[in-house]
Amino acid sequence: MNPVLAATVQFNHRPSDKAANLAIMKVFVDRAASTGVDVLAFPEMCVTGYWHVRNLDRNDIEALAEVIPEGPTSRTLLDWSATTGMTIGAGLIEQSSDGRLFNSYLVAMPDGSHAVHRKLHCFISPHMDSGGTYTVFDTPDGNRLGVLICWDNNLVENVRINALAGAQILLAPHQTGGCDSRSPDAMGLIDPQVWHNRAVDPGPAHAEFQGPKGREWLMRWLPARAHDNGMFVMFANGVGVDDNEVRTGNAMIIDPYGKILAESDSLDNDMVTARLDPARIDMSTGQRWLRGRRPELYGPLAEPADTLDPRTVRFSRAPTSSS
């Protein structure tokens, strides 16, 4: 791995308004380019908007979807990458050649190449499918990146497989925080008015964003993904009202020891940057643990055990102690 100046973004997207969202993104692209950023990560489905999509019919989703890499968003991202010399990742809705719809993340690279990850655990709409492959690839500057979208990161197996495939940097685009998680003591809804009032009364919004519905929840698990696998993690997220939920931002960059190198405590659109030092990987605890694995013991991990489809899991209530 070569040294990397990394940047992650949080921003409040507009539902179904790709032009407006790309205009916001362009501001961050210019800002990142002016500071010499090498890799820039935007949030999950930030081009199309996210949570409102659960209420759209198939025709409306298809109207938002694009073919990758021939679609206009792909061409825009590839142009930005070629012009700035940055590797740029952003989330959108993809329509495949066979007509299927995916929650996808396009990574555009300066040499004109690209990678695309289809969310492995897609639940946003019954009209959208889950992807079936991992996405680990080399950038033109000699670094190896992986991509996991939102819930993909919550399953430890997904991150471990990226690490075993050699990923040194994991792009982790999200739309999270302030979710009706349906699990006790895990996030929870935030009153949208708290965010709307942030300019005149920032205290309540800051408490929600930094508390158990936002940062505190992330701190229970996200740094462990970096630490346990000896990789850098670039967490990008939405911020503010997203239909009936409120995203908490918390954009951050984490090193292979689980140490937070940079993070945002802003209540609005923001970008954080950090320099990624390759020396932090080689002797990290996670990398040493990877070399001590016992694969012959792990067969049960690949056996089905009460598994459900992502939509059933996401929209069901957690069982009570009496059930």
pLDDT in the model for residue 319: 47
Is 291 inside a domain boundary? yes
- HSE value, Cβ hemisphere, 13 Å, CA-based, for 266: 17
Please tell me the total count of domains within the chain.
Answer: 1
| DSSP for residue 317 | P
H or E stretch including 246?
Answer: strand 245-248
Is 287 inside a domain boundary? yes
Give the CATH number for residue 196.
3.60.110.10
pLDDT in the model for residue 322: 34
Strand partners for 105: 91, 117
- Let me know how long the chain is: 323
Rounded to 5 degrees, what angle do the CA atoms 15, 16, 17 make? 90
Residue 70: pLDDT band (50, 70, 90) is very high
Is 321 inside a domain boundary? no
User: Which tens digits make up the pLDDT trace of 106-120?
Assistant: 999 999 999 999 999
User: Which tens digits make up the pLDDT trace of 243-294?
Assistant: 999 999 999 999 999 999 999 999 999 999 999 999 999 889 999 999 999 9
pTM over 0.85: yes
Retrieve residue 248's tokens.
């908490």
Is 320 inside a domain boundary? no
Residue 183: pLDDT band (50, 70, 90) is confident
**How far is Cα 195 from Cα 10, in angstroms, rounded to an integer?**
15
| DSSP for residue 269 | S
Is 157 inside a domain boundary? yes
Q: Which of 37, 7, 232 is nearest to 141 (CA)?
A: 37
**How far is Cα 228 from Cα 285, in angstroms, rounded to an integer?**
7
Is 323 inside a domain boundary? no
Query: What value does the mean pLDDT of the chain take?
Result: 95
**How far is Cα 273 from Cα 294, in angstroms, rounded to an integer?**
36
**How far is Cα 310 from Cα 106, in angstroms, rounded to an integer?**
22
| Residue span of the structural domain in which 219 resides | 4-315
Is 198 inside a domain boundary? yes
Is 210 inside a domain boundary? yes
Q: Read off the pLDDT of each residue in 50-75 and give the average, rounded to a whole number.
A: 98
